[in-house]
């Protein structure tokens, strides 16, 4: 009798946790639908082809930048170096291209450097897990400072990097980009394919499952012979890689290099993860949730632009709205329940 009961319980637990994860996604989708409905009703041309395209394009950049943040959050860490790495990759790549390095080569070098900085983040914060936030902030600031020193040493106009972005890169990520004749910038498709792959990897492979296991319960994961140092460093290295990639792709979007191009992503990546319902304490959520979070944030931003708010006013409103959005489902338990 007791064995039957125990069996029932072991079956029920994973089902329940899966259902609660889906609840967040469904809540997010309802929020997205509501935002789109409000937008369509109050802003002219909100659901027009060109606006949807630009929303998806901005979503693709945010989505790519949030890959690393999602993985770090699943382990219970955060990566605040993302905006600085994006800015560094942005000016670094164009600097290399304009000083004669072939574009393909420059991109590979930038991506490798992204992985290197991410690995440094991972190695340092491995033993300072409560301070991952500060470690990544410091490493990010050092990186952006070093990049600016290197790219503007000897130049007459410090801080500015001029150069010509290759046409194919501009086509990948600019609003007028085309994929095989269709008026869809390739970066959107790259993002969607990557999202599908990532959701699959996190659900069904050893890498994905062991990441959840570590974030959920460190000691239990250790007993399952999951190497915490290896996983932690890999995740931060991936975050560095995707930050670098986002920085390069933003080059094609803006057509020039600007070190502060990454600044909005400091807040937006964390917000996308939190609004999607991924716990910042680790172990719960996933890239599917972040996908919904990204779409909600982009729709919200687009709505605020539609209401005629400038960049600074948008920041203000977005900052005020995120707390209630997160409060919807990502609340901590009361101390009474924590004892």
Contacts of 239 (CB under 8 A, 6+ apart): 67, 68, 69, 71, 72, 79, 81, 82, 118, 121
d(C-alpha 171, C-alpha 154), whole Å: 32
Quote the crossing angle between the two packed helices 287-306 and 264-276, to the nearest 10°.
120
Residues that bind other proteins (CB under 8 A): 78, 124, 127-128, 130-131, 133-135, 137-146, 148-149, 152-153, 158-159, 266-267, 270-271, 274, 280-281, 310, 312-320, 322-323, 326-327, 330-336, 338-339
**Smallest separation, CB 224 to other proteins (Å):** 27
**Smallest separation, CB 272 to other proteins (Å):** 12
d(C-alpha 195, C-alpha 295), whole Å: 13
User: 186 or 262, CB closer to other proteins?
Assistant: 262
**Smallest separation, CB 130 to other proteins (Å):** 5
User: 219 or 338, CB closer to other proteins?
Assistant: 338
d(C-alpha 333, C-alpha 105), whole Å: 50
User: 30 or 281, CB closer to other proteins?
Assistant: 281
User: 141 or 207, CB closer to other proteins?
Assistant: 141
**Smallest separation, CB 95 to other proteins (Å):** 13
**Smallest separation, CB 92 to other proteins (Å):** 13
d(C-alpha 190, C-alpha 188), whole Å: 5
**Smallest separation, CB 271 to other proteins (Å):** 8
Copy the structure tokens of residue 3. 């064995």
Contact between 74 and 286 under an 8 Å Cβ cutoff? The reply is: yes
User: 18 or 127, CB closer to other proteins?
Assistant: 127
User: 27 or 317, CB closer to other proteins?
Assistant: 317
**Smallest separation, CB 153 to other proteins (Å):** 7
User: 102 or 319, CB closer to other proteins?
Assistant: 319
Helix, strand, coil % (nearest 5) of the chain? 75, 0, 20
> Closest by alpha carbon to 249, among 320, 159, 185?
185
Our measurement of the distance from residue 289's CA atom to the centroid of its chain's CA atoms, rounded to an integer in Å, reads: 12
């Amino acid at each position: 009798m007791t064995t039957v009961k125990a069996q029932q319980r072991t079956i029920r637990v994973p089902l329940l946790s899966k259902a609660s994860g889906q609840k967040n996604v469904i809540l997010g989708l309802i929020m997205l639908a509501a935002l789109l409905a409000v937008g369509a009703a109050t802003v002219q041309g909100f659901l027009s082809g060109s606006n949807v395209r630009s929303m998806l394009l901005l979503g693709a950049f945010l989505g790519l930048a949030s890959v690393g943040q999602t993985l770090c959050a699943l382990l219970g860490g955060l990566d605040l170096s993302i905006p600085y790495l994006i800015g560094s990759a942005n000016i670094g790549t164009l600097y290399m291209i304009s000083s004669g390095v072939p574009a393909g080569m420059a991109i590979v070098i930038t991506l490798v450097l992204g992985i290197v900085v991410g690995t440094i983040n991972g190695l340092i914060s491995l033993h300072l897990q409560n301070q991952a936030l500060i470690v990544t902030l410091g490493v990010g600031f050092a990186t952006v400072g070093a990049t600016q020193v290197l790219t503007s040493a000897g130049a007459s106009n410090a801080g500015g990097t001029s150069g010509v972005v290759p046409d194919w890169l501009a086509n990948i990520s600019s609003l007028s980009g085309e994929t095989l004749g269709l008026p869809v910038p390739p970066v959107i498709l790259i993002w969607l394919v990557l999202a599908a792959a990532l959701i699959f990897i996190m659900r069904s492979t050893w890498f994905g499952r062991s990441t959840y296991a570590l974030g959920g319960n460190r000691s239990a994961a250790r007993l399952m012979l999951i190497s915490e140092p290896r996983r932690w460093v890999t995740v931060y290295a991936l975050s560095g890689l995707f930050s670098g990639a986002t920085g390069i792709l933003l080059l094609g979007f803006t057509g020039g290099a600007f070190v502060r191009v990454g600044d909005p992503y400091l807040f937006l990546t964390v917000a996308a993860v939190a609004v999607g319902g991924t716990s910042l304490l680790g172990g719960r959520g996933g890239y599917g949730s972040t996908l919904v979070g990204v779409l909600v944030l982009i729709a919200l931003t687009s709505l605020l632009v539609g209401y005629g708010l400038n960049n600074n006013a948008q920041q203000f409103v977005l900052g005020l709205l995120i707390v209630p959005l997160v409060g919807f489902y990502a609340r901590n338990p009361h101390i009474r329940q924590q004892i």
